[in-house]
Structure 1
Amino acid sequence: MTNAARQPSQYELLATRLQKIINAPAAQKSKTALLYKAPDESAEDWAQVLAEIGETDNVTIAYRDDGGVHLFWVVQQDD
């Protein structure tokens, strides 16, 4: 038995970082978030996370010339 908890993968750390940005009150209010890949994050993990975000309904991804990604989303109202 080990006392050490499993360390999160680099992918999990990236996903958690982006989730915090997207869930921030200002982003939720404006329904938009600007994301940038950190220099130490892998391009493969970055591409995978963006692909998964892009599969979400009502989310638009705009790739910026500066390498950033601008997310926009619409919250559907229940009738």
Structure 2
Amino acid sequence: MTRMEKFEMLEGAKSMGAGAATIASAGAAVGIGNVFSSLIHSVARNPSLAKQLFGYAILGFALTEAIALFALMMAFLILFVF
């Protein structure tokens, strides 16, 4: 195997690894959808708790979005550091 072939295989593996790392973004999108759909259902059942429930929803959104940001960070590390 020549040096160029090894380099091309390494670049291909890096691209596949970065693509696999970004799959977590789809999971985070589903999680964010669940958070806000639960907020809508909860406010529809009990409108007097809307402010408190909105605070909990924002906390859930932030924690779920952190997963997507970590996945994006890992994809960039795979692509540009290794």
TM-score after normalising by structure 1: 0.30
Larger Rg over CA atoms: 2
More helix by share: 2
More strand by share: 1
